[in-house]
Structure 1
Amino acid sequence: MQRVKTNEVVDGPGPSEKVATITTSGGIEQVVLHSSALDSSNYMEIGFLGYKEDLALIELPRESASGKWRVWVNKSELAA
């Protein structure tokens, strides 16, 4: 599974949840997810869908706060 870098991770609404923010081509997105979806370096597990120039289309593990499931991120935001 692919991973994307998160910028900020804070405790979420539930006991085992976290709120993670990621940088997308359209701005910042917040995602509430189970803490097991993050690794020790705070990279979030995502579904990879494809590339378009310097961008990657990814699928988030849960719907973002703005209602998005799929977002474009810079390739540099993905784990190597």
Structure 2
Amino acid sequence: MIKARVTVTLKNGVLDPQGKAIEGALGALGFDGIGQVRQGKVFDLQLETADKAKAEAELKAMCEKLLANTVIENYSISLA
């Protein structure tokens, strides 16, 4: 069994209105020195295999087909 974490973030240059809203809210709450906020998604998955190469290939396929919109998002995979 392999535990994995997939992190999906917007590509540089893609507008991030949610990140902008968070940035404004942090300023309104008194947090100074916030230059820019970008938001993303995190998926924690448990795969029923012991083969790390197979798990990584499956995770990449999951990201390409469902978890990330690869036109505007990047993703990274880490295995535990």
> Max radius of gyration: which structure?
2
TM-score w.r.t. the length of structure 2 is: 0.34
TM-score w.r.t. the length of structure 1 is: 0.34
